[in-house]
Amino acid sequence: MSIYDLTFYLFAAITVISAFFVVTTRNIVYSAYYLLFTFFGVAGIYVLLGADFIAVVQLVVYVGGILILLLFGVMLTNKITNVQIKTGTVKLVPAVVGVALLAGVLGASLLNTNWKTISSEVPFSTTHSLGLLLMQQYAVVFELLGILLLIALIGAASMARK
């Protein structure tokens, strides 16, 4: 068992366990904090997969942006003085059955597939290559996404103001 394997298991455990708590904890604010760990674990997995730039982006955007947004959502839609920042659960039985079935089926197909894997050696830093790709081959998509983001933010702002 190499150090690589150990690291993987560590991050995978962090990810899965914290994700489990995210969806089961009754307090929403706690859920949000567990979500932080999930994102962190996922970022670690990215690093193991050789995607260092993506891992950093994951941390910056998710933890720094989206998570904060979600927290704001919680604050704005619940009275903060009210201790009961909790959420109930519904349809527990069909959800458990359905999700278990789904996971079983997906896992079965994962094990039954004969994956053709050629593990390529990933260079130390991917940032330079990704930058070139974004500015050359995916320049148009990149621009479009920028515009999309702008529109989404303006739209969100105008919707929330009403």
Partner 1 sequence: MIHIGLSHFLFVSIVLFSLGIFGIVTRKNAVMVLMGIELILNSANINFIAFAKFGNFGYQGQIMALFVIILAAAEAAVALAIVLNIYKTFSTVNVDEIDTLKD
Partner 2 sequence: MTETVLIQLAGIILFLPLLGFIVTLLLGKKIKLIYNFENAIIIIAFSLSVVLAFIKLSYYPQNTVVGEFQWINLGNLPVLGPVSIDLGIMVDNIAALMIIVVSLISMLVHIFSIAYMKGDKRYNRYFAYLGIFTFSMNGIVFTHNILMMYIFWELVGLSSYLLIGFWYEKKSASDAGKKAFIVNRVGDLGMFSGILILFYTYHTFTFDKIFQQIGMGHIPFNSEFWLTVTGILIFCGAIGKSAQFPLHVWLPDAMEGPTPVSALIHAATMVAAGVYLVIRVFPILSGGALFFIAIIGALSAFIPATIALTQNDIKKVLAYSTISQLGYMILSLGVGAYSFAFFHLITHAFFKALLFLGSGSVIHAMHHEQDIRKMGGLRKKMPITYATFLIASLAISGIPLTSGFLSKDGILAGTFAFGSLTGNWFFAAVGFLVALLTAFYMFRLVILTFHGEPRDKEKYDHAHESPFVMAMPLVVLAALSIFIWYTPNPFNPEQGPLLSQWIKAPVIYTPQDARYPFMRSDAAPKELGQTAQANNEEVVFSETYTEAMHNAHVPAMLLSLFVAGLGLLFAFLFYQWKKLNPDKLAEKIKPLYNLSLNKWYFDEIYDATFVALTLGISRLFAWIDAHIIDGIVDGSASLTRYISSFSGKFDNVVVDGLVNSTAYFSGFVGLVFRRIQTGKVQTYIVLVVFSLVIILFLFKSF
The CA angle 42-43-46, to the nearest 5 degrees, is 90
Closest distance to partner 2 from the beta carbon of 103 (Å): 10
Judged by beta carbon distances under 5 to 8 A according to partner kind, the member of partner 2, partner 1, none in contact with residue 127 is none
Judged by beta carbon distances under 5 to 8 A according to partner kind, the member of partner 2, partner 1, none in contact with residue 14 is none
B/e letters for 54-92, b = 16+ CB within 10 Å, e = fewer, are bbeebbeebbeeebeeebeebeeeeeeeeeebeeeeeee
Distance separating alpha carbons of residues 122 and 25, to the nearest angstrom: 38
Closest distance to partner 1 from the beta carbon of 103 (Å): 4
- Residue 103 or 153: which CB sits closer to partner 2? 103
Interface contacts to partner 2, rule CB under 8 A: 90-91, 94-95, 98-99, 101-102, 105-106, 108-109, 111-113
